[in-house]
Amino acid sequence: MPADLNLRLGLPGSDQTDVDAAKSNKRASPEKAEDTASNGVPAAKSADDHETAPAPKAQIVGWPPVKSYRKSTAAAVKKAEAESGMYVKVSMDGAPYLRKIDIKLYNGYSHLLTALEDMFKLSIEREGYKGSEYAPAYEDKDGDLMLVGDVPWEMFMSSCKRLRIMRGADARGLGCAQ
Amino acid sequence: MAYSFPEEVLEHVFSFLSSDRDRNAVSLVCKSWYDIERWCRRRIFVGNCYAVSPEIVIRRFPELRAVEMKGKPHFADFNLVPEGWGAYAYPWIAAMAEAYPFLEEIKLKRMVVTDESLELISKSYKNFKVLVLTSCEGFTTDGLASIAANCRHLRELDLRESEVEDLSGHWLSHFPDSCTSLVSLNMSCLGSEVSFSALERLVARSPNLRTLRLNRAVPLERLANLIRRAPQLVELGTGAYSAEIRSDTFSNLADAFSACKQLKTLSGFWDVVPSYLPAMYSVCSGITSLNLSYAAIPSSDLVKLINQCQNLQRLWVLDYIEDSGLDALAASCKGLQELRVFPSDPFGAEPNVPLTEQGLVSVSEGCPKLESVLYFCRQMSNAALIAIAKNRPNFIRFRLCIIDPQAPDYLTLEPLDTGFGAIVENCKELRRLSMTGLLTDRVFKYIGSHAKKLEMLSVAFAGDSDLGLHHVLSGCDSLRKLEIRDCPFGDKALLANAAKLETMRSLWMSSCFVSFGACKLLAQKMPRLNVEVIDERGPPESRPEGCSVERVYVYRTVDSRQRLDRPDFVWTLDEDSSLRYS
């Protein structure tokens, strides 16, 4: 580059380290663009700031670069999912037909299990496998049969595709429900 | 001149030239060719509405029939251009209403169009045929009513992706019964319900209708009746694709689809109930373009649909397709040319679906004709990019967006320089590139050295220093549009490459390190550039000269006057560097 265009970013006398700091400032937390000292020089970061994790990106204007009508679609899809209920089939070993429930209606495992007990008129294992009662199991997204209760409730809600109330004897090996 | 052709002969010869480039070349040959050409030019394209004035256009081309124009810079799509910046269509519409009574076509992109403008269009041009408003805003459904009511020979009304203030669906009923000329109607961006009977009657009396894109408010139960009345449709956009599952609705729909032997393009698909997708299977083998980017369809159902569309050339889809769905796409659709994968949950920090860089690698491997990609994902590696580049040297457009804008190679934690370097090195015909991820000045060096055909580059949160910008401006011979946000690029590179900016349409830099002083210098040096400082913090002089401006937009222009429609946060600088602001 031609040497005569040696413009500087800071005031005369400010040295290159300020510019370097500004660069790393820029990269670490892009949304802090206003974080300049009153003399216009980007605030030199202390050593601590270099080591802290970058600020969460969720608040960046215009990022990710998705047009506004797409954002609202994604939001609408989520909203629609939220409103439409999460119906899953519930089968009980030995019962002639299945039932369907909306998992969204329940606020946790014990609420769900109580509802299932009412629906099928039986009692379900809660703590530990005793081998005599029914055990609640579900089929997840991968098609695997899982014991109800191991994962956080929200994760369960999004991964549960189908419920199966297994006879105690068949549930051997599924382990303990929380 | 002893041997010059009569004008009529030259005009006839020129009438075979449709490309602007050819016509521009012709007009440079000599004064008489310039004159003959300008009288017989019928279509113009203005890439930046501020690059020229209506008066200049009208003076040079007195007999236009079709005008296509773009307004705001691309980053306006992501809210980086403040409201009220400009790109008003009205001055153009008003000037053209006087000068071109025979105007037939107006196509605008990213411009502010008012109801007043629409009314003026509808009343000024007796033979008006085509109105396309892409990503425009500023008008209401009242303006559409004027167009519908007054344009007797209307062929195309296309509102793609515009923001319309939707007062009611009544506008559609303004099409008179005598209007039978419609070829294309795209109302997909509108919210309100239109009168279904008016819509059905309109479709029924439009024998030339080829494109019909409905809005979400048209329910699935109504779709069959509509497409039955237009079996000649080539492009269909459905409304909401959901209904209670009933076999009569299904068979009605399937029947209607099976009559559409010419259907090539499908879009719409809001609120999809997957059980209704098979109703379309009869047309799938002819489908070349499929836009499912509003459809939350599970991967397995997507795969079933895609497997029916063996001749697919273009697919827009949400990331619900997952890597496994993209594998299936790669196996089924060997003619695929364009793929866009949009994020279903753009603001979630964690991945909500198993879609990774692997999907893109598969498609690049399996689809030999793939040339255009827009891909949102949450992780990327240099290895994947290198594989993609080697698989598909025929890329023309490559746009990658990693949700975390500074994400490194997730395997090695290195910057993604070598990956993108491989893209520009292998894809010699690359015309458009968007990059994200952890990127240093090195990637710009690769771009400057290899991307000789690159016309448009989008950069965010990348680079270390001015050297990055300098590599691009000095190396990319074909560069026309450069848009940069949040990069540590500043004055040195900008001023060192000032002359380059006149060979480009525009440069956008926001949240970078460009000082007001440099902007003034640039404007002084390059009188044929408009240098706009877009800064909402008040007059730039109230801050020290070294302080960075919020945004700078530099574009070439033959209109020597300053913009008269500047809002108070836009500061333009003219030759003597005196600040002009309203």
Task: Please state the three-class secondary structure of B336-373 as a single string.
Answer: CCEEEEECCCCCCCCCCCCCCHHHHHHHHHHCCCCCEE
Contact A54 B406 (CB under 8 A): yes
User: Does A161 reach chain B within 8 Å, measured CB to CB?
Assistant: no
Which chain B residues are Cβ-neighbours of A6 within 8 angstroms? 492
pLDDT confidence of A70, banded at 50, 70, 90? confident
A38: pLDDT strictly greater than 50: no
The residue that leads in pLDDT, B5 or B190, is B190
Distance of alpha carbon A65 from the chain centroid: 21
The residue that leads in pLDDT, A55 or B384, is B384
Beta-carbon contacts of B425 under 8 Å, excluding residues fewer than 6 positions away, are B389, B446, B450
Task: Give the residue on A whose Cα is nearest the Cα of B343.
Answer: A74
Which chain A residues are Cβ-neighbours of B435 within 8 angstroms? none
The residue that leads in pLDDT, A105 or B292, is B292
User: Does A11 reach chain B within 8 Å, measured CB to CB?
Assistant: yes
B523: pLDDT strictly greater than 90: yes
Task: Give the residue on B whose Cα is nearest the Cα of A26.
Answer: B488
* pTM for the structure as a whole: 0.80
Substitution target from B500, B511, B522, B551 for chain A, most A beta carbons within 10 A: B511
Contact A61 B79 (CB under 8 A): yes
For chains A and B, CB pairs below 8 A equal 123
Give residue-wise pLDDT tens across range B236-263. Answer: 999 999 888 888 999 999 999 999 999 9
Contact B346 A57 (CB under 8 A): no
Task: Give the residue on A whose Cα is nearest the Cα of B537.
Answer: A34
The tokens describing B489, both together, are 């690029």
Residue A138 · residue A148 · CB < 8 Å: yes
What's the gap in Å between the CA of B344 and the closest CA on chain A? 5
Residue A23 · residue B463 · CB < 8 Å: no
State the ipTM, two decimals: 0.87
Contact B515 A78 (CB under 8 A): no
Find the range with the poorest average confidence among A54-58, A84-88, B120-124, B474-478.
Answer: A54-58
Which chain A residues are Cβ-neighbours of B77 within 8 angstroms? 65, 67-68
Mean pLDDT over each residue of chain B, to the nearest integer: 94
- The closest of B520, B509, B515 to B472, measured between CA atoms, is B509
The tokens describing B90, both together, are 């009205």
Task: Give the residue on A whose Cα is nearest the Cα of B522.
Answer: A5
B544: pLDDT strictly greater than 50: yes
Give residue-wise pLDDT tens across range B426-473. Answer: 999 999 999 999 999 999 999 999 999 999 999 999 999 999 999 999
Give residue-wise pLDDT tens across range A121-136. Answer: 887 777 655 656 788 8
Amino acid at B571: W
Q: Computed from CA positions of residues B231, B235, B237, B238, in that sequence, does the dihedral angle turn out positive or negative?
A: positive
DSSP calls for B23-90: HHHHHTS-HHHHHHHHHH--EEEESSTTSS-HHHHHHH-TT-SEEEEE-S-GGGGGT-S-TT---BSH
Given the DSSP bridges, would you call strands A162-166 and A135-139 parallel, antiparallel or unpaired? antiparallel
Distance CA B398, CA B85 (A): 29
Q: What is the 8-class DSSP label of residue A92? A: E
Q: What is the 8-class DSSP label of residue B105? A: E
Span between the terminal Cα atoms of chain B, in Å = 53
